Structure 1
Amino acid sequence: MSSVHEPEKDTVTETVPAKAFDGDADVQEVSPGASYRDLEKRDSNLKTTKDGIVLIPQPTDDPDEPLNWPFWKKHAALIVLAFGSFFVKFTATILASASNILAHQFHTTPRKATYIASSASIVPAVAPFVWIPLSRKFGRRPVLLAGTTLAIVFSITVATSDTYGQAVATRVMMALSDSAAICIGPAAISDMFFQHEKGSRMGINTFLLVCAPYIGGIAGGAVAFNTHLGWRWSMYISAILLGLQLVCQFLFVPETIFNRKEARAAAENPKPTFAYSLGFKKPTATKNDSWLYTYLRPFAMFAYPAVFFPALWFSIAQMTEVANTAGFALNFGEPSRYHFNARQIGFCSFSGLIGAVCGELVAGPVCDFVAKRHLKKGGDWKPEQILPVAATGLVLTSAGLLLYGLELNYPTGWAATLTGIGIFTAGQEILLTVLMTYTCDCYPDKAPEVSIVFQCCINIMAYCPPFYVPQWIAGPAGAKVPYIVFALLPIVTAPIGWLLFMWKGEKVRAKGPWFTL
């Protein structure tokens, strides 16, 4: 990970005049694409870091604003939020390694048993349409706590399931509940960090999100293989971890929604105490919005091409993720040439974990470096300036998929096969960090809706492959055909999801949505 700095130590002491915070006027904003030199002509009191990096957005003088929180408070919240995203995918795959054991438990086939883990993958696609509107009405903090509490209850319910249908249904409800975290995380991170910090911080969240399925597979295989524990304890362990997460959320994740029009000068507003941060603050900016408008608002973001097409392109590139992790039991387990047991199947997931680490060592730090370099020079900042970093991710993603498919078809050994998964995951981590940062920078005031579009596209595209990829691999042509197709799709669709915005991104953003609801 890249090194972080303490914002309150880096920020120059000059402040925007207090009259800007009288509650009746909008606070000056520095939007993506704004020229620092032009803004400097209008206001000589722009806040910058000690290195001369202009702060985007310009913070108010209100110490309660998340941008003004102390270093420890921001990063404690960041880590807890990132682990919230982590547990969504971790708890989804912790059962995947035990597919053969689940098949015996519920008197079904190993292929059908994989659906207990994979069938819930569609849920995060629809969950944002529940949680994000509720967070706009009641706040991010209560929604986050409520979702985690429900996830604990359903995790225990999965562990006590007696039938296949009950296990599938309760896993779906568990996924719906803990998806609150994956919805809230990117929005809250955007609330707390400046432009030049956002790449690496968003990268921490995406890193834990990407590596979570693989850590879940490792842990799930070890637990299921242990005769003193078994697959049920994987869900009990999930409940225990979610309980610890709930405590951390309560202690370290204050409300991040902040109404800048109601901000006050520092002299008028005492520094918030720790006890104050434990309270609940209902958002005021949306208090007059109807429930219909609140629930329709997320759908409006699908009309923004600068959000929808990058999200769609990434979802095409990573659509095999669930099929890959769910397929470890079939491709490396007892029915395969390798005859791995549950624990060894879990160890296969180390490949994805290593790939995610390598990918994040590139993605977040490079995004931050690009932003700092341009902002320090005082030139025009455009979100498109970080998009070239995605080229590395594209190459790695396609190369990894191709290697994995060819090795499954023409095996030289399990290590070479799993190397393909590692390369694919490294590319996936780079693409997600770059594209999520880019789209949030395009419309920073709509970060929650941006995350909805991403989650919807990602999970819809990843839902279907687990149901047809095993049959495709078992066909006469073997694994090479499906994975050649999967490797070519990101390359073929790159013009509409990536290259278009490197070329004409600024004009596309300026036009806004293609249609309005």
Structure 2
Amino acid sequence: MPSPQSWSTSSASQSPPSHLHRTRFPDVPSIPPPLEEPRIYPGRGTPLNPFVVDWHLNDPEDPYNWSNLRRWFITVQLASTTFAVSFGSSAYSGGLRGVTRDLHVSDEAAILGISLYVLGFALGPLIFAPLSEMFGRRIVFLVTLSLHAIFQLQGAVCNNLATLLTCRLLTGVFGSSPLTNAGAVVSDIWNFRERGLASAIYSTVPFLGPVLGPVVGGFVAENPRLGWHFNFWLMFILAGIALVLGFFITPETYAPVLLRWRAQKLHKMSVGTIYYTTSYDHNQSKSFLQIMRKNLSRPFVFVVTEPIVLLFAIYISIMYGTLYALFSAFPIVFQQHKGFSPGQSGLAFLGIGLGIGLGTASQSFQNRIYWRQMEKSETGRAPPEARLHVAMMGSVLAPVGLWWFAWTSTPNVHWIVPILAGVPFGAGVAQILQSLTTYLMDTYNVYFASATAATVVVRSFCGAAFPLFSPAMFDALGDQWAMSVFAILSTVCIPIPIFFLKYGWWIRSKSVVAYKDTDSEPQPISATVIATRAVEIETFQLDTVPEKETETPTDETAGFTQSPYHRPSVEKEETSMEIPMRHSLVPRDKE
């Protein structure tokens, strides 16, 4: 078997290997046009053994290789969309008095508007996260956000409780898509070294939106010219702006979908005679029903079979549920006990907002820790556990803030003291969510949407339930002991980041889909081989139908090139042959 290097020194008239012969077409030139860029894929191009398309080194279509400016535009747009959706979950709470007065309903019925919205966050990801992994992020994002905006508009003009609650549920269902898919896009476009700050911004916004919602919603509802209906108009405007920005800024980013488009384009260029698949779809089921069943069931499977997802979901749910329980606690503490108006009571959430900002700023220290471990790693990639150092700090700060608030919320204590208690709580929540989110990104890679969907579902159920039983719990136990229950739950969770920092590598090693420390990074093919193949392909002629393989690949060409960053790839087959496929079967005068 001659080496690829020896091909470049052979005569131009030498007959090419038989596997490179193609059927002659009447309007196809015998010599293909020069290659724009040689592409090397494993396989034979047959229906049973198609060429396997994957990313190449420095591939401009790989989202990891897009410019920093473009990726930051996408990240900021996604963060603004997530803010618009999460803001709507709590802005409604500022107008609860107006809802009970104008619709003649009880306080409990009005609070259902909060719970049903967050319940929608639990239902939507079960469908939209798997669909984004099947059809792509962009189409799911645009369709669901459009429906979210439509139902916000319906809520702005409704005048009965049934319509109001229905709109709140449906806006939550369709608004849940950005909560899961935005994080998946961050994972799509930022590699493991760069994604620290981007994921911190994304993961902070779902908590920052609910904090600022009562501040704005309270003052809007107090204004007699606006009223509680205008909160829905405001949410509709925010959703509309996010939709327009998403349409023009955010492209498709999911690697399997982009590679499928490339494979389909190459198949079309070959006039249907050469078959392609992707490294994600190779040897996978082609049945639409089987694919749907597999994708839709994946979040449930992750909760049951992945201890990482289950424990993280429980931890995040406690933090998330506690935050929404404060929507019931703050009116009691600041309106009933301290005489605040609804708008002033909303300002009390600014303490939590300040803490969230400080927690986000601490992510820069986490990034430095991660980069130092990368430099020490033999593979150039730090383990996901390197993301958890700030989470250990946050696991302590969050219960400190809750204990502080619990026992300083009495009427005889100055109002600034319980507000300041929100600073360590907000910082701890931000640090926990940021670290756990990046840990899931590093661990589950392309399945991050399903992994985060599982956590969003569990946390949203808690966020929906906590506001319903919190008022009764505060009445029965009193402010101090009711908040102490949440503080105890948060305190019990302190060991979780420590446990995963020490044993996370072992848990990942037992998983089927999680990243393992033993996973090797794909090695790019040498530039010499690529250049040699580029010269050789220009001498190939399309003469006869291929009969059988006459060449066997050498060890040097047994792999195929990818992005230097880790992505799942197909197992190499001993019988595969790699050839550059950036030639065209279209005559030059028709290109």
TM-score range, shorter chain: 0.7 to 0.9
Distance 2:240 2:441 in 1: 30
The alpha-carbon deviation at position 425 of structure 1 amounts to 1.4
Q: In structure 2, what is the equivalent of residue 271 of structure 1?
A: none
Distance 1:62 1:183 in 2: 27
More divergent stretch after superposition (301-310 vs 337-346): 337-346
More divergent stretch after superposition (90-99 vs 418-427): 418-427
The alpha-carbon deviation at position 236 of structure 1 amounts to 0.7
The alpha-carbon deviation at position 489 of structure 1 amounts to 1.6
Distance 1:327 1:98 in 2: 16
Distance 1:408 1:474 in 2: 14
After TM superposition, list the pairs within 5 Å mapping 1:90-129 onto structure 2. Answer: 90-129=87-126
The alpha-carbon deviation at position 245 of structure 1 amounts to 0.7
State the number of aligned residues: 448
The alpha-carbon deviation at position 446 of structure 1 amounts to 1.2
Distance 1:20 1:479 in 2: 65
Structure-2 change in CA distance of 1:27 and 1:255 (3 Å):
closer
After TM superposition, list the pairs within 5 Å mapping 1:248-287 onto structure 2. Answer: 248-259=245-256, 285=281
The alpha-carbon deviation at position 378 of structure 1 amounts to 4.0
Structure-2 change in CA distance of 1:337 and 1:488 (3 Å):
closer
The alpha-carbon deviation at position 18 of structure 1 amounts to 5.6
Instruction: Tell me the amino acid that sits aligned with residue 310 of structure 2.
Output: F
Q: In structure 2, what is the equivalent of residue 150 of structure 1?
A: 147
TM-score by length of 1: 0.81
Q: In structure 1, what is the equivalent of residue 356 of structure 2?
A: 356
TM-score by length of 2: 0.71
Distance 1:137 1:501 in 2: 31
Is 1:509 equivalent to 2:508 in the alignment?
Answer: yes
Alpha-carbon contact 2:121-2:460 (below 8 Å) kept: yes
Q: In structure 2, what is the equivalent of residue 484 of structure 1?
A: 484
Deviations 1:270-300 (A, max 9, x none): xxxxxxxxxxxx9994865532222112222
Q: In structure 2, what is the equivalent of residue 339 of structure 1?
A: 339
Q: Which has the larger radius of gyration?
A: 2
Distance 1:176 1:283 in 2: 33
Distance 1:233 1:190 in 2: 36
Instruction: Tell me the amino acid that sits aligned with residue 506 of structure 2.
Output: K
Structure-2 change in CA distance of 1:369 and 1:18 (3 Å):
farther
Deviations 1:109-152 (A, max 9, x none): 33442322233212211211111122233221011111111111
The alpha-carbon deviation at position 175 of structure 1 amounts to 0.8
Instruction: Tell me the amino acid that sits aligned with residue 96 of structure 1.
Output: S
Structure-2 change in CA distance of 1:284 and 1:235 (3 Å):
farther
Q: In structure 2, what is the equivalent of residue 499 of structure 1?
A: 498
Alpha-carbon contact 1:129-1:298 (below 8 Å) kept: yes
Distance 1:456 1:513 in 2: 22
Distance 1:489 1:208 in 2: 23
Alpha-carbon contact 2:115-2:463 (below 8 Å) kept: no
The alpha-carbon deviation at position 488 of structure 1 amounts to 1.9
Q: How many percent identity over aligned positions?
A: 24
Distance 2:39 2:374 in 1: 25
Q: In structure 2, what is the equivalent of residue 48 of structure 1?
A: none
The alpha-carbon deviation at position 366 of structure 1 amounts to 2.5
Is 1:313 equivalent to 2:315 in the alignment?
Answer: yes
Alpha-carbon contact 1:359-1:430 (below 8 Å) kept: yes
After TM superposition, list the pairs within 5 Å mapping 1:70-469 onto structure 2. Answer: 70-259=67-256, 285=281, 288-289=287-288, 290=290, 291-302=292-303, 303-333=305-335, 336-362=336-362, 364-379=363-378, 381-409=382-410, 411-469=412-470
Distance 1:261 1:101 in 2: 52
What do you get for the CA RMSD once the two structures are aligned?
2.7
**Which consecutive residues of structure 2, in runs of 5 or more, have no partner in the other structure?**
1-37, 44-49, 267-277, 514-591
**Which consecutive residues of structure 1, in runs of 5 or more, have no partner in the other structure?**
1-16, 29-58, 269-281
The alpha-carbon deviation at position 341 of structure 1 amounts to 1.9
More divergent stretch after superposition (320-329 vs 227-236): 320-329
The alpha-carbon deviation at position 191 of structure 1 amounts to 0.4
Deviations 1:233-287 (A, max 9, x none): 11111111111111100001100112386698xxx9xxxxxxxxxxxxx999486
